[in-house]
């Protein structure tokens, strides 16, 4: 008969390692900390040196604008809506639109001189419609009508013609 050993010795077996060694991880973290500290000191030193250089340079900028006492310099037109302006903050978009609409409605419904010396006036739209309905539109002069007819005839020739190939169209 064969001998069976139920209780074999497992002394040669050990638990598996996690294969992560702590020493390289600590070395990497140490190098990272030293490099970060070096970069911090380098940037801080550069900022300090640039501040000292700026303080030592007393020449005024080439584009310096000296404003009279109590005046502010505003950006050029057109400014953003709601931005500061000489007469106070400009209107916000909806308020600006309402103000513009009021002005246009007032202009469309009122009489005013455009050029008083030439006798050109602005009249309300409704009144202008009535005048056109009563009197009709003004007629073109004979020379203007001939020019328009000539331009239309030339257009027909050009659009209806074959490729000119550099030839003069008559």
Q: What's the whole-model pTM score?
A: 0.36
91, exposed or middle or buried, with CB in 10 Å at 0-12, 13-18, 19+? middle
State the total domains in the chain: 1
Asked if the structure places residue 65 within a domain, the reply is: no
DSSP at 22: H
Q: Which helix (H) or strand (E) holds 99?
A: helix 93-108
The answer to whether residue 87 sits within a structural domain is: no
Let me know if residue 75 belongs to a domain.
no
Residue 167 lies in a domain: no
137-164: pLDDT as tens digits? 888 889 999 999 998 888 888 777 565 5
11, part of any domain: no
Q: How is residue 110 annotated by DSSP?
A: S
In a domain, 26, yes or no: no
Give CA–CA dist 24/22, Å, rounded: 6
Q: Is 118 a domain residue?
A: yes
User: Which 3 state secondary structure label does DSSP give 112?
Assistant: strand
What is the span of the domain harbouring residue 98?
A: 93-158
Domain membership of residue 50 (yes or no) is: no
pLDDT at 78 over 70: yes
């Amino acid at each position: 008969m064969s001998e069976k050993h139920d209780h074999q010795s497992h002394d040669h077996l050990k638990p598996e390692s996690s294969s992560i060694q702590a020493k390289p991880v600590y070395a990497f973290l140490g190098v990272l900390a030293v490099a970060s500290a070096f970069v911090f000191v380098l940037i801080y030193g550069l900022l300090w040196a640039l501040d000292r250089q700026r303080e030592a340079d007393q020449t005024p900028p080439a584009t310096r604008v000296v404003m009279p006492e109590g005046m502010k310099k505003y950006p050029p037109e057109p400014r953003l809506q709601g931005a500061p302006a000489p007469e106070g903050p400009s209107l916000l978009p909806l308020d600006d639109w309402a103000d513009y609409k009021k002005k246009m409605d007032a202009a469309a419904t009122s009489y005013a001189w455009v050029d008083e010396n030439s006798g050109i006036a602005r009249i309300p739209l409704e009144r202008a419609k009535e005048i056109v309905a009563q009197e009709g539109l003004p007629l073109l002069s004979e020379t203007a009508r001939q020019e328009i007819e000539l331009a239309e005839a030339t257009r027909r020739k050009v659009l209806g013609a074959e490729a000119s190939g550099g030839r003069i169209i008559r």
